Structure 1
């Protein structure tokens, strides 16, 4: 923007200066020519006075003095055909002046001033003063140079002033952009300092108001989530009491364990929502994945599913929290149990690749099919697409990515690339 404003002011200033300085330069040249002609006319009059009142020797001396003082060649054509002063050809213009008319005419390399002198000895004499082109434009180049320097200086000054004005606008605008990027990154404490022109200050105040409003809305949502947690604990407590009343101790213990898992999941969700900002967390991926596969292996054994767990020796520190990575693994393994028949084998592999940690979950089920995996919020074959979306968000939060494909076992394969801490 600063360059654009500087270019605009430079172009505008240049056009104004050209429209002013070009006529002024032409006027300077015209004035210089007029002054040169006036000076030559004055010199010719001085010689004409001498030609009509003094003898030939005094006239010769006068011609030499005038020519020396003005720097212009002076010639006197006497009535008897002789010449005094600078040698010059007798042109038709001289013959015209000899008839009693004082004229000026163009000559090669300049201009001549011809003045008739009546009453001179021997008849009408003609005084000729030659003005060269250099004499006609004496001082013009110097004046033009000064005008050019003045014009360039004014353009540079205009560009400098425009740059300062643009800077006064661009600096607060850039500061507003930085604050908006900080807000977008989750720094809700970022605020703009209103400065600059009134419009930019108004934009800064509006951005601060928007940030405050977002903070208030998030705080309200966190409190609503806290209320949800209290509402959920009552039915969970009732469910735990019902499980304790079961006659089969093993069945009661298993249901109580599931209730505990559900309560921990609800608590983790509530705590995640209530966090003011999601800080950069770390965890040992090998330990988390091994723990979650161990949990799901109990259900896999009941459904006659073979489980292949391939973990490289840890620790493998990744840039996600333990709860988030556990949710990711649970979502992927839960999809296998929900969308593949009992007895379908699956595998979980954890490896290191290109400075990242790769979590690969494969199964021998039917795969994603021709329609591909469901998108978030779309139902299809009993799926809402939330499981894959959870894994995708966990990968993105660590600086990684998620990829889908077909496994070597014939079913679906999900590759979660997790960024290292």
Structure 2
């Protein structure tokens, strides 16, 4: 609506000025042509020695005030003189002593101008009305799906992880709906795995805990018999070791479920996406962001997790670093390596060893970003390390996409 209003003003105001000037110029040209024609008629009448007929002039020049001055002849006046403040006058003369003045009332011209300006204003109002109607229709077409997507997101936040399958015929909103549906499916799978883990844990831990309780009760009952106490104590240790083994197996199963989300992805795509998102912020800070190293590397990692880790490192470089930031990619026999480096002051000496600990920050931050980034990297089977403190260089070590070896977790007595 604002754009339409600006367009109407930019077009309507100059158009109104042009129309006003054209109408005024046309009136002046018409009056000048009439004065020239009247002069030629008077000259022709003098040549033929005919008197000037005021009635004929009145019919030929209606709504005009005509004055004819002829040397050695009386002045001829035709019509009614307009008020002085509304007069438009043109005059001409000949070498034979004929002087002609013709005047018209400016009010007629002003009425014509008002008529055209009214038409322009009406067209402008019609254009604005059409713009308002289109704006209302388009805003409803966009806001209703957005409200629906907001309800779906709120439902996901409350734990109802059912895909909506809603589509709206708008490509951008349909992509958002697809992402929400995928997130709902993933959340449902995670909730299902959490419930299965809780069920398995409660079932698997019940038997070792019962056995351990019974052995401890026997120890208490046989406190006066050293041999029995020793035997029952050894049995209790065995039960505790069984309990430790069960916990290790359950945790290993949870890790394997997290690793199952990792997939072979193109590292360049994730890095390019992050550069696109962060480049405006670096540009506002008059800093640059560069991507160097090997191209076409593929790693086993969850795309969302890698994006979060790289985003955390770039945010730290923006907030606490200085100079250009360089993302360098490379590979070795066992890892895909991504390094993020800037030219700032680096990590203070007193927190260098604890930079990944929770609630540790050297610049007034929350101290959670690097902790969560390292946890996300570890959950995908990778590592996040500080390889140089000043200037700071962080390195991500990820599993190559062609890695086929399986990682076994061996549990047993300590």
TM-score range for the pair, normalised by the shorter chain length = 0.3 to 0.5
